Chains A and B, each alone.
Chain A
Amino acid sequence: MSENVMVRTASRAAPAPAARRPQGDGSRPRLPSWMSWRAWLPTVVAFGVTATIWQLVATANPFVIPTLEEIWASLAGAPEMYWTNFQVTLNEVAIGATSGIAAGFLLAVVMSEFRIIERVVMPLVVVVMVTPIVAIAPALVVAFGFGMLPKYIVTGLVVFFPMLVNSLAGLRDVDVKALDVFRTLHASRWETFRHLRFPGSMPYVFAGLRIALPMAVVGAAVAEFVAAGQQAGLGSLVTTSAAQANLPVTWASIFLLCAMGILLVCLLALVRKRVLWWSAADVVAR
């Protein structure tokens, strides 16, 4: 049976044609490392130990944290309620993060193509970014009301900066020898961007996304804290339930926010594998 699983997963792990996979040049197909129980053992142990300590503390101090059973009971007791709130927050993350990512990347493109824009805009961007987002959120709620807009803005702002910085680093870190080839061919600026800078920036863009997506969840939750009680959402649920000392609901919401972050990161890893198969290593913007 494990044989079966192995084969299926192996073929799924290779979405691109065989020719596309520089790593596996004809060597015997091996088990992906994450399939082996050894790879998982430390994780399982870590979770097991944490859960045990959690249970011990929760049983001894019922007013500090709820037991895992209580959290589970809360989740199982009102799945639609949690699902609705999950969707609200996910929607904020999706719209806010998409806008922030797009804005960050586009501004990076403009900045990398026109130095003057960078000199004009970068100081402003830095000022906005060193302002604590928690402080901006209430101001935005006052300005735009308790609707979705301030939540989109806060989430967008949170992802904007890592996307901008990483994309800019990626667009700048172009293979100069390849650039020389483009220049001797008199490739236009657009052609150089389209065929060299843009694809070449992708490792950095994905490194930026890896930072930005979990932060988007933080941004959405913070925005909901500020406007709690007015709209649904896991962040609102955390504040309202905590105010009522309803700890199982609070912790169930926290776990769901955590799950959302993990989900996004896993999704990103899948997309990265498909898009960036040619890039050996992860890069980090300097």
Chain B
Amino acid sequence: MTTQTVHDGRPGVRVDNVSKSFGANGSRVTVLDGVSLSIGMGEFVSVIGPSGCGKSTLLKVIAGLVEADEGSVTIDGTSVRSAADGKLIGLVPQSPALLPWRTVLDNVRLPLTVNRKANAGRAVRDPEELLASFGLGAAIHKYPGQLSGGMQQRAAIARAFVFDPSILVMDEPFSALDEMNRDQQRLGLLEFWNSNRKAVLFVTHSVPEAIMLSDRIIVMAAHPGRIAEVIDVGLPRPRTAETYDTAEFRDLERDVRAALHGVMEKAHV
């Protein structure tokens, strides 16, 4: 595979034929095998699949944390490297990973503090306003240790949004929360994203979560990690808690579960 370096200026994310293996020559395991996908500007794409199928690895390749063996990734037409250098990627890890010695506000300001040369000419959101819109207006001077898990995760999302990134990558950001809390966080994220459309790659293992949030759902299969199916979610936006009760939602849920079942069954042959 040749590495694509042309700047086609195309907005959004393009992943072309990405492969990745881990381990030494003798015991090499292919984790990603020829994965291609694209995320348009303002499009919300979820990745779902059995655990260990390479979802996090795919996300890390797109975020520039893991180098692909083959294939290419471009973000707004440039390489991942230069996208990171320009602070165009917003990462929300599985744990909030806030710095416990900084206030919530200072945590959200962190992206402004580091790699300052990328600050020039950038639209920066006001961190206080941003936190207020995430329902953390009263908590800006608190420390992460004083917040609930859900609030911490929202602060982590605000931190990723502060720089108006081209793409947000989120790795099961709500998986550590209890179900009631998860749903609330989900709807909160949806509402915020609705008025701040970004390209989003969202890794999850919850079917309702994937449907509720996404424009498209990518179902991955394991061993080796690859795209098994892509399901379009045609549900109208804005979506609210009532969306869960619609027939369309339930049909989609059945489709996604069926796709996942297919993926799991093949894995057991």
Contacts and interface: CB of A to CB of B under 8 A. Distances in A.
Given A180-B97, A186-B115, 5 more contacts: A182-B114, A184-B64, A185-B114, A192-B114, A195-B113
B105 to A, nearest CB: 11
A184 B99 contact: no
Contacts of A183: 64-65, 84
Contacts of B64: 183-184
A228 to B, nearest CB: 46
A22 B65 contact: no
A19 B145 contact: no
A188, A192, A278, A279: residue with the most chain B Cβ atoms closer than 10 Å: A278
Nearest to B145: A22
A181 B92 CA distance: 8
Nearest to B113: A195
Contacts of B114: 182, 185-188, 191-192, 195
Interface string A61-82: 0000000000000000000000
A277 B98 CA distance: 16
A279 B159 CA distance: 22
B97 A185 contact: no
B136 interface: no
A184 B110 contact: no
Interface in B91-148: 91, 93-95, 97-101, 103, 110-111, 113-115, 118, 141-143, 145-146
A25 B146 contact: yes
A278 B101 contact: yes
Interface of B: 60, 63-65, 84-85, 87, 89-91, 93-95, 97-101, 103, 110-111, 113-115, 118, 141-143, 145-146, 159, 169
Given A186-B85, A278-B143, A180 B63 contact: yes
Nearest to A190: B114
B93 A196 contact: no
Contacts of A192: 114
A192 B145 CA distance: 21
Contacts of A182: 114
B143 A22 contact: yes
Chain A to chain B: the 7 pairs with minimum beta-carbon distance, closest first: A22-B145, A177-B97, A187-B114, A177-B93, A178-B97, A184-B91, A191-B114
B78 to A, nearest CB: 13
Contacts of B118: 186
A175 B97 contact: yes
Contact of A19 (B63, B110, B111, B143): B143
B119 to A, nearest CB: 11
A199 interface: yes
A195, A199, A279: residue with the most chain B Cβ atoms closer than 10 Å: A195
Contact of A186 (B84, B90, B97): B84
17 contacts: A19-B142, A175-B97, A180-B63, A180-B93, A181-B91, A181-B159, A183-B65, A184-B63, A185-B84, A186-B118, A187-B114, A188-B114, A191-B113, A191-B115, A199-B101, A278-B101, A278-B143
B110 A180 contact: no
Contacts of B169: 184
Given A19-B146, A20-B143, A185 B101 contact: no
Contacts of B103: 19
A178 B99 contact: yes
B104 to A, nearest CB: 10
Nearest to A179: B97
Contacts of A267: none
Interface in A240-286: 278-280
Interface in A159-194: 175, 177-178, 180-188, 191-192
B175 to A, nearest CB: 13
A280 B98 CA distance: 15
B87 A22 contact: no
A24 B9 CA distance: 53
A272 to B, nearest CB: 13
Contacts of A181: 91, 93, 97, 110, 159
